[in-house]
């Protein structure tokens, strides 16, 4: 009787779901059997099974939860521009142990925090970050010197320190050295635990989770990071009158009494910025360096552009437009390896997504990783690394929503310009001094989630000083 009553109350949802491509799965469990053996922590391509023959839109039932997977730019555009699709599903935010920073907050909290933080990502504020970007990238170049001529090594460890230092200094006025720091391994461990909870379905039972070793390990990991955040806040309070750019950076906005944030809200935002902000730049820059090490023709073109437009010293914001090929390289890396491989949304009210009526309480998954590689939109070489596809004459032939590494709509990534400026400056400094190679072949590369997209084989390269 309970099941019949449950189905009756949700009869409209089931009626609308019937019109969406895909099978209904089994009673009670839906497509749970399909998920068996899929672990995106090993290879995200395994999750291609969710796309059901590469359909533009398809449905999947996980028990009573209706998921709709989007693999089409037209439907992606309708989804991301709809006010019915602004909410982040609880199954995504829950692994952060109820932390509600900007990227996972909803409703009034999200609106208030985004309004506060958007100030720190305006062009005139980003201009003030240029000296920090340059300083940290020049330090990175120095840190690589001992690796010249050495065997292949995972450059991701060095890049993580670079991006963490840049994030800490450029957002929180916290200028410390993180090369070889334990906090990087602590953050990585925390990400692994969060991903474990997100992927393994039995941890959806809160009573089971809170009695598990995983819960204790996650609490311990977050406690370590909280201690660092408390240290950042105390350092800011101590030095706030001495900060050169006081009033402009992220922490200045968070700590401003006029913005009326609680200590817990401030800590949550710093927590999310550290986890999401530093890591996304780190995995993107690491992937770019590996791709360039594999593609010598791309590396040669980068050398030519750097030599033509950069003589040394600091790179100014007004110089960045000169590095058009480097920008294409960044965009191509983000196409193949978007740091956020899918965009999840909970539907808060029934809405029209092109030809489909999407019922309330559905969870939509905009699968960017597969849409970015879809040959329907990107051609037969969609799986290849070819920066030239972003030449103006080529890219204008591509549907504008077939490429969305920073998402789109009202919840578009607030730090997209920050990321592009930093990556450009980093690549100019690096390729002014070094050339890279690797024994890995592009065909061997697989992608994983942890929870952002990473390359499973890591980022093993060898470094040589550039020959003049």
- DSSP H or E run through 272: helix 263-272
pTM of the predicted structure, to 2 decimals: 0.93
Which residue is it, tokens 């939860």? 65
How far, in Å, CA of 288 to CA of 329, rounded?
A: 8
- Would you state the structure tokens that stand for residue 72, as one six-digit string? 């089409």
Annotated ligand binding at 413? The verdict is: yes
Write out the chain's pLDDT in tens, 468 residues: 666 776 777 788 888 888 999 877 766 666 666 665 556 556 677 766 666 657 899 998 877 888 999 999 999 999 999 999 999 988 777 666 666 778 888 888 889 999 999 999 999 999 999 999 999 999 999 999 999 999 999 999 999 999 999 999 999 999 999 998 888 888 888 888 888 887 777 777 888 988 999 989 988 888 888 999 999 999 999 887 666 656 678 999 999 999 999 999 999 999 888 877 788 899 999 999 999 999 999 999 999 999 999 999 999 999 999 999 999 999 999 999 999 899 999 999 999 999 999 999 999 999 999 999 999 999 999 999 999 999 999 999 999 999 999 998 999 999 999 999 999 999 999 999 999 999 999 999 998 887 788 898 999 999 999 986
At the topology level, CATH places domain 2-465 in Cytochrome p450 (1.10.630)
Q: For 461, left (φ over 0), alpha (ψ -120 to 50), or beta? A: beta
* Interacting residues of 430 by C-beta distance below 8 A, sequence separation 6+: 137, 140, 141, 144, 289
CA distances from 47 to 16, 64, 124, 193, 201 (A): 25, 20, 41, 20, 15
Task: Give pLDDT, residue 188.
Answer: 85
With b for 16 or more beta-carbon neighbours within 10 A and e for fewer, the 224-243 pattern comes to: ebeebbeebbebbeeeeeee
Task: Give pLDDT, residue 9.
Answer: 75
Instruction: Please tell me the number of Cα atoms within 13 Å of 306 on its side-chain side.
Output: 23
- Would you state the structure tokens that stand for residue 454, as one six-digit string? 């990473």
3-state helix/strand/coil string of 24-81: CCECCCECHHHHCCCCCCCCHHHHHHHHCCCCCEEEEEECCEEEEEECCHHHHHHHHC
How far, in Å, CA of 459 to CA of 91, rounded?
A: 30
DSSP 456: T
Q: Alpha-carbon torsion 392, 395, 400, 406, what sign?
A: negative
Question: Strand, helix or coil at 357?
Answer: strand
Contact 60, 30 (CB under 8 A): yes
Q: Which of 122, 79, 138 is nearest to 313 (CA)?
A: 138
Task: Give pLDDT, residue 91.
Answer: 76
Q: For 193, left (φ over 0), alpha (ψ -120 to 50), or beta? A: alpha
CA distances from 55 to 75, 277, 292, 363 (A): 11, 32, 32, 17
- Would you state the structure tokens that stand for residue 140, as one six-digit string? 């990175």
Q: Which of 50, 25, 27 is nearest to 40 (CA)?
A: 50
How far, in Å, CA of 378 to CA of 398, rounded?
A: 7
Q: For 101, left (φ over 0), alpha (ψ -120 to 50), or beta? A: beta
How far, in Å, CA of 55 to CA of 324, rounded?
A: 35
Task: Give pLDDT, residue 2.
Answer: 67
Task: Give pLDDT, residue 49.
Answer: 61
- DSSP H or E run through 356: strand 356-358
Contact 330, 423 (CB under 8 A): yes
């Amino acid at each position: 009787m309970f099941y019949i009553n449950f189905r009756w109350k949700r009869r409209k949802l089931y009626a609308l779901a019937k019109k969406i491509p895909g099978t209904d799965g089994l009673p009670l469990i839906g497509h749970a059997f399909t998920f068996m053996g899929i672990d995106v922590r090993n290879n995200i391509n395994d999750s291609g099974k969710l796309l059901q023959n590469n359909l533009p839109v398809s449905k999947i039932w996980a028990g009573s939860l209706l998921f709709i997977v989007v693999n089409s730019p037209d439907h992606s555009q309708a989804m991301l521009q709809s006010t019915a699709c602004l909410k982040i599903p609880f199954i995504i935010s829950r692994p952060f142990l109820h932390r509600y920073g900007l990227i996972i907050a909803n409703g009034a909290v999200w609106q208030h925090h985004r309004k506060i933080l958007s100030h720190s990502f305006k062009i005139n504020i980003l201009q003030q970050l240029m000296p920090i970007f340059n300083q940290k990238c020049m330090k990175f170049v120095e840190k690589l010197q001992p690796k010249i001529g050495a065997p292949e090594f995972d450059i991701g460890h060095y890049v993580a320190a670079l991006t963490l230092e840049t994030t800490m200094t450029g957002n929180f006025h916290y200028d410390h050295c993180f090369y070889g720091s334990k906090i990087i391994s602590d953050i990585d461990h925390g990400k692994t635990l969060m991903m474990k909870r997100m992927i393994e379905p039995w941890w959806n039972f809160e009573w089971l989770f809170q009695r598990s070793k995983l819960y204790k390990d996650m609490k311990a990991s977050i406690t370590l990071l909280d201690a660092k955040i408390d240290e950042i806040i105390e350092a800011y309070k101590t030095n706030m009158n001495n900060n050169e750019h006081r009033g402009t950076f992220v922490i200045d906005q968070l700590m401003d009494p006029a913005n009326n944030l609680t200590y817990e809200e401030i800590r949550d935002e710093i927590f999310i910025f550290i986890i999401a902000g530093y890591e996304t730049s780190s995995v993107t820059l690491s992937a770019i360096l590996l791709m360039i090490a594999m593609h010598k023709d791309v590396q040669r073109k980068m050398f030519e552009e750097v030599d033509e437009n950069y003589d040394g010293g600091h790179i100014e914001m007004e110089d960045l437009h000169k590095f058009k090929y480097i920008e294409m390289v960044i965009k191509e890396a983000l196409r193949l390896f978007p740091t956020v491989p899918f965009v999840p949304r909970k539907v808060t009210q029934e809405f029209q997504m092109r030809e489909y009526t999407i019922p309330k309480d559905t969870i939509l998954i905009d699968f960017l990783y597969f849409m970015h590689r879809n040959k329907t939109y990107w051609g037969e070489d969609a799986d290849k690394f070819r920066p030239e596809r972003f030449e103006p004459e080529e890219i204008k032939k591509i549907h504008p929503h077939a490429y969305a590494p920073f998402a789109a709509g009202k919840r578009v990534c607030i730090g997209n310009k920050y990321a592009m400026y930093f990556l450009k400056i980093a690549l100019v400094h690096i390729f002014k001094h070094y050339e890279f190679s690797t024994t890995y072949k592009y065909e061997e590369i697989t992608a994983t989630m942890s929870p952002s997209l990473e390359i499973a084989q890591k980022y093993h390269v060898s470094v040589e000083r550039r020959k003049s």
